[in-house]
């Protein structure tokens, strides 16, 4: 495996990547090229170390065969002259394989067709804005050839420090003949050429008897009468793969032709991480696998629908860090808001976001955008510099933040977030949960928002339990099943489905000493959505030491009673457990087991009869929470630090404390997400020698005030040999 990021960081150990996106853009007119040199002079003044731009095929090759790279050549000259690195976005934007739009001549000269959003849609390019399905063979061949040309041109140019394979990737379903052809090929691989097996798996809702692969068609829907769930699941997985495969192909082109082997990244939209990525067909696991370093678009204020909610931000940053294949799981922010749009981020909000990203392992900040577009929509939006390129107040404070990072570049690039606890969140479970409860894996996100809440609250609740207590939290999904043993505690929220592979990973984890906590409903269906009569399935009954064969609604629910006499309500569903070895941690008032714990191998498996994580999110029950806390502590999933916030050490203070370690030293980052100041006392086992990152003053361990939305870092450098 190419470890392009580590190579890059070892070549530039002192330089912390901080900057903004610059022209050329992928759409609309750029600000004048004659002014670029004076822009670079100002960037130097502002401590900018990196910029990013688009190599949009339709703008470079407006007529087939006539390629104009002069703007990129010029940018690279300036980058070398001023010591500012350049990241080139050579691949897709949104759902388009190249830039925002493909070259127009592909339609007029070769008749390339747009995607077909429904099976019966008429797909013709009939307006000035054209689109082409990324499965069109001619389009793919020519697009990948163009990207190869770009990589070769800058393969030895040291101004370039990285590549972006895709800007904010997402992909709608397509029913065109090229896509359906690839779907059939994908299905033949998945079912090992066994059509009878596909008929069996797809033919549960109504009989299906395809006699040849050519007869197989993509499903148009799902639901109670809409169509089979398994066909829909496969269609989703295929579309997830289709996007990740295109990203991976671009990554492979870079690896093949870039002599300097610079890392490939992509700005995944961070706010999609609660299941919405599933609907956008952005599979986080697969996308992470197609990148050298995971990158993000990190917008929290600028658009309608952005949220500054700290739990949401933390969850999404943790979710994306967890799919980074880079050994230290470093991430790059490739877009984050700089200037005005629907709303404008304020200076305290902007700095808190910078600190928070650092706390979650981000090693690059590129703001959107340096100077504003010169035409079309977004003129006067998002820009950090003034319209004429002069320096604004917001540019100054961002520049000062960069200056601080540059003075600690080696340390800040090196340290990373450790592993303590994780939430199990496989991508396949997201598809199955949404298909079962979501009412629609539909492109219209708003209409699905309510159903989405049902699906996501368990995940959010499990994460919130850890986050409220400053217990560092990651996510386990398909790709890192084998990393489970690096965690002390794993939470299993709303795992209705189970696969033999997941079950075996959980079994091994517990056997080797791990602690798991599962909420109901747990493992009562397999990944083809077949019921098995009793649960949990695939050998987990032995691991958890109990089973159930029914569930009831809250209307019939007794209270849960704990050993210490505390009581708690069930949430929505509830199970009684039949014991085959487990101990009872809580009973229902009727005397039957409600929460059970089983020693298995060296570890502990706990299973609750109700949705304790979903409940924690919206109606936390004191007795249940106390039990979860005790289990977490006994498992060794401890907080990064004990903190008193206004004299109180209760969880949920909205003060986050992160610890990052590395060979160069240690950094603590403290975040006050509250809109009011907080008096802080922080108790660290290793406080000796800590200094404040901004002021350099020794940390005296005494109480201090965190301003509203304040961020602060304490650091200690190891002595270099
Ligand atoms: Zn298509």
What tokens does 583 get? 């101990």
Cα 356 to ligand 1 centre (Å):
40
Q: What DSSP letter does each residue of 452-474 carry, written as one string?
A: HHHHHHHHHHHHHHHHTTT--EE
Q: Average pLDDT of the chain?
A: 95
Tell me: pLDDT of 311 over 80: yes
Q: What's the rounded mean pLDDT across residues 520-531? A: 96
Cα 108 to ligand 1 centre (Å):
18
Cα 182 to ligand 1 centre (Å):
9
Q: Is the model more confident about 211 or about 6?
A: 211
pLDDT in tens, 657-666: 999 999 999 9
Q: Of 408, 354, 396, 405, which Cα lies nearest the Cα of 45?
A: 396
Tell me: pLDDT of 9 over 80: no
Cα 92 to ligand 1 centre (Å):
16
Cα 229 to ligand 1 centre (Å):
22
Cα 172 to ligand 1 centre (Å):
10
Q: How many CB atoms lie within 10 A of CB 217?
A: 13
Under 8 Å between Cβ of 637 and 337 = no
State the alpha helices, DSSP H only, in 166-295: 177-190, 195-202, 229-257, 276-279, 284-289
Under 8 Å between Cβ of 370 and 363 = no
Cα 215 to ligand 1 centre (Å):
17
What tokens does 13 get? 């150990």
CA distance 466 to 642: 14
Under 8 Å between Cβ of 360 and 316 = no
Cα 175 to ligand 1 centre (Å):
6
Cα 245 to ligand 1 centre (Å):
14
Give all domains of the chain, ordered by start, each with its CATH number. Answer: 4-99+140-171+240-415 (3.20.20.80), 421-635 (3.40.50.880), 642-717 (2.60.40.1180)
What tokens does 591 get? 């005397």
Cα 190 to ligand 1 centre (Å):
20
CA distance 656 to 653: 8
pLDDT in tens, 330-379: 999 999 999 999 999 999 999 999 999 999 999 999 999 999 999 999 99
Cα 180 to ligand 1 centre (Å):
7
pLDDT in tens, 627-678: 999 999 999 999 999 999 999 999 999 999 999 999 999 999 999 999 999 9
Tell me: pLDDT of 441 over 50: no
Tell me: pLDDT of 1 over 50: no
Cα 178 to ligand 1 centre (Å):
5
Are β-strands 678-683 and 655-662 bridged in parallel, bridged antiparallel, or unpaired?
unpaired
What tokens does 589 get? 């008032």
Using DSSP's 3-state secondary structure scheme, residue 497 falls into strand
Backbone angles phi, psi at 100, to 5 degrees: -80, -30
CA distance 140 to 178: 11
Q: Of 503, 524, 689, which Cα lies nearest the Cα of 600?
A: 503
Cα 65 to ligand 1 centre (Å):
26
Cα 124 to ligand 1 centre (Å):
12
Cα 297 to ligand 1 centre (Å):
26
Using DSSP's 3-state secondary structure scheme, residue 57 falls into helix
CA distance 580 to 596: 11
Cα 270 to ligand 1 centre (Å):
26
Cα 618 to ligand 1 centre (Å):
42
Q: Of 668, 43, 705, 707, which Cα lies nearest the Cα of 398?
A: 43
Q: Which pLDDT score, from 0 to 100, does residue 443 have?
A: 47
Q: Of 310, 358, 296, 314, which Cα lies nearest the Cα of 694?
A: 358
pLDDT in tens, 594-611: 999 999 999 999 999 999
CA atoms within 13 A on the CB side of 447: 6
Q: Interhelix angle for 445-467 vs 622-635, to 10°? A: 60
Cα 90 to ligand 1 centre (Å):
22
Q: Of 152, 129, 169, 158, which Cα lies nearest the Cα of 69?
A: 152
Global confidence as pTM = 0.97
Cα 107 to ligand 1 centre (Å):
15
Q: Of 507, 624, 486, which Cα lies nearest the Cα of 566?
A: 624
Cα 119 to ligand 1 centre (Å):
10
Using DSSP's 3-state secondary structure scheme, residue 569 falls into coil
Query: Percent of the chain having pLDDT more than 70?
Result: 97
Tell me: pLDDT of 553 over 50: yes
Cα 112 to ligand 1 centre (Å):
11
Cα 105 to ligand 1 centre (Å):
19
Cα 116 to ligand 1 centre (Å):
6
pLDDT in tens, 84-116: 999 999 999 999 999 999 999 999 999 999 999
- Could you tell me how far CA 511 lies from the centroid of its own chain? 30
Q: What's the rounded mean pLDDT across residues 544-554? A: 96
Tell me: pLDDT of 590 over 80: yes
CA distance 416 to 324: 12
Cα 76 to ligand 1 centre (Å):
36
Q: Which pLDDT score, from 0 to 100, does residue 719 have?
A: 85
Q: Interhelix angle for 445-467 vs 310-321, to 10°? A: 80
Cα 179 to ligand 1 centre (Å):
4
Cα 295 to ligand 1 centre (Å):
27
| The residue to which tokens 């929505």 are assigned | 572
Q: Which pLDDT score, from 0 to 100, does residue 595 have?
A: 98
Q: What's the rounded mean pLDDT across residues 474-497? A: 97
Cα 117 to ligand 1 centre (Å):
8
Cα 348 to ligand 1 centre (Å):
45
What tokens does 472 get? 């560092």
Under 8 Å between Cβ of 598 and 518 = no
Under 8 Å between Cβ of 134 and 140 = yes
Q: Where are any strands of DSSP class E within 483-582?
A: 489-492, 497-498, 515-518, 525-526, 546-547, 552-553, 560-562, 567-568, 573-574, 578-579
pLDDT in tens, 287-304: 999 999 999 999 999 998
Tell me: pLDDT of 133 over 90: yes
| Residue 275: pLDDT band with limits 50, 70, 90 | confident
Cα 442 to ligand 1 centre (Å):
18
């Amino acid at each position: 495996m190419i470890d392009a990021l580590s190579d890059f960081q070892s070549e530039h150990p002192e330089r912390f990547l901080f900057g903004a996106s610059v022209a050329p853009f992928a759409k609309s007119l750029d600000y004048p090229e004659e002014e670029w040199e004076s822009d670079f002079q100002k960037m130097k003044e502002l401590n900018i170390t990196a910029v990013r731009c688009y190599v949009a095929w339709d703008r470079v090759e407006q007529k087939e065969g006539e390629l104009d790279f002069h703007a990129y050549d010029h940018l690279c000259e300036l980058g070398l002259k001023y010591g500012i690195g350049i990241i080139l976005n050579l691949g897709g934007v949104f759902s388009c394989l190249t830039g925002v739009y493909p070259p127009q001549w592909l339609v007029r000269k070769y008749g390339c067709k747009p995607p077909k959003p429904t099976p019966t849609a008429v797909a013709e390019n009939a307006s000035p804005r054209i689109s082409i399905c990324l499965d069109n063979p001619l389009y793919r061949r020519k697009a990948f050839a163009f990207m190869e040309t770009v990589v070769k041109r800058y393969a030895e140019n040291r101004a370039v420090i990285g590549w972006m394979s895709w800007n904010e990737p997402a992909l709608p379903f397509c029913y065109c003949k090229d896509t359906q052809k690839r779907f059939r090929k994908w299905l033949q691989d998945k079912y090992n050429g066994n059509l009878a097996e596909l008929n069996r798996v797809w033919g549960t809702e109504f009989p299906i008897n395809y006699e040849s692969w050519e007869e197989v068609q993509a499903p148009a829907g799902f639901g109670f009468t809409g169509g089979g769930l398994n066909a829909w699941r496969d269609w989703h997985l295929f579309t997830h793969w289709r996007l990740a495969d295109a990203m991976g192909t671009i990554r492979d082109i870079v690896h093949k032709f870039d002599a300097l082997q610079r890392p490939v990244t992509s700005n995944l939209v961070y706010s999609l991480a609660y299941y919405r990525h599933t609907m956008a067909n952005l599979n986080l696991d697969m996308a992470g696998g197609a990148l050298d370093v995971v990158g993000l678009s990190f917008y929290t204020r600028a658009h309608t629908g952005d949220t500054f909610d700290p739990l949401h931000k933390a969850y999404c940053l943790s979710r994306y860090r967890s799919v980074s294949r880079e050994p230290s799981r470093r991430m790059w922010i490739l877009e984050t808001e700089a200037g005005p749009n629907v709303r404008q981020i304020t200076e305290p909000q902007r700095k808190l976001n910078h600190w928070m990203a650092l706390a979650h392992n981000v090693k690059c900040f590129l703001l959107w955008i340096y100077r504003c577009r010169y035409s079309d929509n977004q003129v006067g939006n998002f820009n950090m510099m003034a319209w004429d390129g002069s320096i604004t107040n917001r540019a100054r404070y961002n520049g000062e933040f960069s200056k601080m990072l540059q003075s600690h570049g080696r340390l800040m690039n090196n340290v990373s977030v450790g592993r303590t606890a994780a939430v199990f969140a496989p991508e396949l479970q997201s598809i199955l949960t949404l298909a079962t409860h979501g009412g629609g894996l539909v492109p219209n996100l708003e209409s699905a928002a309510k159903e989405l809440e049902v699906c996501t609250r368990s995940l959010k609740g499990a994460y919130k339990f850890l986050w409220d207590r400053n217990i560092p939290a990651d996510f386990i999904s398909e790709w890192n099943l084998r990393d489970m043993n690096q965690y002390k505690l794993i939470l299993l929220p709303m795992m209705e489905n189970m696969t033999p592979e997941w079950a075996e990973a959980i079994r091994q984890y517990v056997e080797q000493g791990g602690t798991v906590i599962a909420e109901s409903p747990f493992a009562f269906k397999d990944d083809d959505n077949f019921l098995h009569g009793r649960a949990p399935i695939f050998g987990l009954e032995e691991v958890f030491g109990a089973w159930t064969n029914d569930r009831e609604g809250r209307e019939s629910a007794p209270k849960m009673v704990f050993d210490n006499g505390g009581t708690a309500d069930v949430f929505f569903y509830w199970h009684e457990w039949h014991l085959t070895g487990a101990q009872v941690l809580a009973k229902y008032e009727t005397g039957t087991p409600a929460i059970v714990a089983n020693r298995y191998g060296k570890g502990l498996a706990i299973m609750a009869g109700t949705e304790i994580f979903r409940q924690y999110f919206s109606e936390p029950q004191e007795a249940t929470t106390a039990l979860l806390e005790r289990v977490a502590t006994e498992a060794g999933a401890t907080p990064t630090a004990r903190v008193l916030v206004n004299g109180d050490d209760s969880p949920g203070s909205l003060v986050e404390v992160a610890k990052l370690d590395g060979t160069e030293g240690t950094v603590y980052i403290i975040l006050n997400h509250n809109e009011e100041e907080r008096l802080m006392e922080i108790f660290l086992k290793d406080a000796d020698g800590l200094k404040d990152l901004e002021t350099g003053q020794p940390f005296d361990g005494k109480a201090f005030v965190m301003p509203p939305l304040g961020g602060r870092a304490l650091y200690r450098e190891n002595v270099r040999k």
